[in-house]
């Protein structure tokens, strides 16, 4: 996977297609964290013998992938919340965490609301608000209402990984601290263009930025 350093390089390269077919490994004090792109928001994370998925959803190909110990879901839309994909990667003991709006459909999930933090198997999971400020399908309506969806900051072995979910460059994103790796969405008309994403990134200074949720990043990559 090609990694984009933060700030200037992110802005200059954010339109480039990413041939991200390989797993990227990040060292931490607790051991390696391996992150594998699937498609769009669907992401596979492996560390400490545990497997985490974020937003497993079609068209991600899940045949042959490891079963989930934990599934995190960001929002109610089918490119993030896909009950069939959740069932496909679940096993006895799989835990699911999701915003309360998702729990209404995925009833086996445990709710984690904006601003909440939970501990799981050596990870700290923080739910960050993900929402639109200006963009919506019609005047007075937004694609993603404040309070409904989550981004997540996942901390493991002293390293902090941010997954934005569907959001614009909201104040809660811009106020993040000490982020080592940031996965930042870019897909119009629903979230934000690269220029807006770059401006938000400049506010919270992650060490590494990886664009995702972009139509220019096809199956097999972000």
| Geometric angle at alpha carbon 120, from 173 and 167, rounded to 5° | 20
Structure confidence at residue 188 (pLDDT): 77
Two structure tokens written together for 181? 């790796």
Q: 26 vs 219, which has greater pLDDT?
A: 26
CB of 213 within 8 A of CB of 40? yes
Structure confidence at residue 164 (pLDDT): 95
| Geometric angle at alpha carbon 45, from 41 and 33, rounded to 5° | 135
What does the pLDDT average to over 132-160?
92
Question: Mind listing the pLDDT tens digit for each residue in 158-186?
Answer: 999 999 999 999 999 999 999 999 999 88
* Kind and range of the H or E run holding 107: none
pTM of the predicted model as reported, rounded to 2 decimal places: 0.88
Given a cut of 90, whether residue 84 has pLDDT beyond it is: yes
What does the pLDDT average to over 37-49?
92
Per-domain residue ranges for the chain? 4-212
From CA 21, how far away is CA 222, in angstroms rounded? 9
CATH number of 4-212: 3.60.15.10
């Amino acid at each position: 996977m090609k990694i984009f350093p933060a700030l200037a390089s992110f802005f200059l390269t954010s339109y480039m297609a990413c041939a991200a077919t390989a797993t990227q490994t990040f060292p931490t004090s607790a051991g390696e964290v391996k992150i594998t792109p699937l498609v769009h928001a669907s992401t596979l994370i492996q560390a400490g013998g545990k497997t985490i998925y974020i937003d497993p959803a079609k068209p991600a190909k899940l045949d042959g992938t490891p079963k989930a110990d934990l599934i995190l879901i960001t929002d109610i839309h089918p490119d993030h919340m896909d009950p069939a994909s959740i069932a496909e990667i679940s096993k006895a003991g799989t835990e699911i965490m999701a915003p309360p709006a998702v729990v209404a459909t995925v009833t086996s999930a445990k709710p984690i609301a904006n601003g909440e933090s939970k501990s799981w198997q050596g990870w700290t999971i923080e739910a960050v608000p993900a929402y639109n400020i200006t963009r919506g399908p019609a005047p007075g309506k937004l694609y993603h209402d404040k309070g409904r969806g989550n981004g997540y900051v996942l901390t493991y072995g002293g390293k902090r990984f941010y997954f934005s979910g569907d959001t614009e460059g909201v104040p809660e994103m811009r106020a993040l601290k000490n982020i080592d790796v940031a996965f930042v969405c870019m897909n119009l008309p629903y979230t934000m263009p690269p220029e807006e994403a770059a401006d938000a990134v400049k506010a919270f200074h992650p060490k590494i930025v990886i664009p995702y949720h972009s139509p220019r990043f096809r199956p097999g990559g972000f």
